[in-house]
Amino acid sequence: MMRWRGPWPWRARLLTTPGTQGQAHSRPPMPQVLCVKLYGHLKYYQSNFYSTVVPPDEITVNYRHGLPLITLTLPSRKERCQFVVKPLLSTVGSFLQDLQNEDKGIKTAAIVTPDGSEVAASTLMETLLMNDFKLVINEITYEVQCSKEEKPSSEHATEMENMKSLVHRLFTTLHSGEFQKQRERHLLEKINHLKGQLQPLEQMKAKIEARSEAKSSGLLWAGLALLSIQGGALAWLTWWVYSWDIMEPVTYFITFANSMVFFAYFIVTRQVSHLRKE
């Protein structure tokens, strides 16, 4: 009996042909049959799995559900971390900021082209992933090769944007009433808050208006009194003290002086001399 090793536990033995036992070797031996018997439960079979080992420091770019997935090793924790990138929204600056937020040990991070030119922070990730690039983390350069076979086409990206726009319009249509109520409630709360802030100012405004109105009214009555006194003095000088021939040029210059005073008031205040209520 002989035993062979392999994925299946089995044994092999040679079976003799009937009529060969106990006979002399007077004739050539008869052909023999090799019988193989398997041991073990066939349901629980053994299988071998094969996989490709990725180097620990390699940066890979794969696509899952149409979105780029960048996998790299964090320098501080030595752990593999995956970053999902939105090509149409994410930029190089936001991606580098996400790296620094994830690993506080990253002091400097930059992305350069294969010829050594630094990529601007405002560059879209969609443009960056069209070609290979280099990622420099803490002055260590990593080569990044972008898979061009799995990149979604521009038509697929356009379809995704149209679908997002359609979902947004449907959501707005279905929840328009609730949104309006919520917006109205928010505006009413804001109006009440602003009224509370304006109430002291309104009170101060009312006090200032009352004081200014009283002051302007007093000035008007004082002006009327001065004009009355002036008219009485001129009449007394004209008919009781001097004659009209003497007082005529005096009244002329007094009238001209009053006109100059009102004109000066207009130049200073840019307002007419009387109050006007709207």
DSSP the chain: -EEE-SSS-EEEEEEPPTT-TT--S-SPPPP-EEEEEE-S-SSS-------PPPPTT-BEEEEETTEEEEEEE-TTT--EEEEE--TTT-BHHHHHHHHHHH-TT---EEEE-TTSPBPPTTSBHHHHTTS-EEEEETTEEEEE---SSSPPPHHHHHHHHHHHHHHHHHHHHHTHHHHHHHHHHHHHHHHHHHHHHHHHHHHHHHHHHHHHHHHHHHHHHHHHHHHHHHHHHHHHIIIIIS-HHHHHHHHHHHHHHHHHHHHHHHHHHSS-SS----
The residue-averaged pLDDT of 186-197 equals 92
Q: Which two tokens stand for residue 158?
A: 């356009």
Nearest CA to 86 out of 130, 126, 127, 135 is that of 126
The whole-number pLDDT of residue 164 equals: 77
The whole-number pLDDT of residue 223 equals: 84
Q: Check whether 255 has a pLDDT greater than 70.
A: yes
The whole-number pLDDT of residue 45 equals: 41
Banded model confidence at residue 21, pLDDT cuts 50, 70, 90? very low
The whole-number pLDDT of residue 208 equals: 93
Q: Check whether 55 has a pLDDT greater than 80.
A: no
User: β-strands 133-137, 10-15: how paired?
Assistant: unpaired
Our CA angle for 115, 92, 78, nearest 5°, is 90
Q: Check whether 48 has a pLDDT greater than 80.
A: no
As a whole number of angstroms, the distance between CA 207 and CA 189 comes to 28
Contact between 92 and 120 under an 8 Å Cβ cutoff? The reply is: yes
As a whole number of angstroms, the distance between CA 35 and CA 13 comes to 6
The whole-number pLDDT of residue 73 equals: 87
As a whole number of angstroms, the distance between CA 60 and CA 181 comes to 49
The whole-number pLDDT of residue 183 equals: 85
The whole-number pLDDT of residue 239 equals: 84
The whole-number pLDDT of residue 36 equals: 41
The whole-number pLDDT of residue 190 equals: 93
Contact between 138 and 107 under an 8 Å Cβ cutoff? The reply is: yes
The per-residue pLDDT for range 153-179, each reduced to its tens digit, is 566 667 777 887 888 788 777 777 777
Q: How many residues does the chain have?
A: 278
Q: Check whether 204 has a pLDDT greater than 90.
A: yes
Q: Check whether 244 has a pLDDT greater than 50.
A: yes
The residue-averaged pLDDT of 180-200 equals 90
Which residues are within 8 A (CB) of 46 and not within 5 positions of it... i.e. 6 or more apart? 7, 8
The residue-averaged pLDDT of 45-52 equals 40
Average pLDDT of the chain is 76
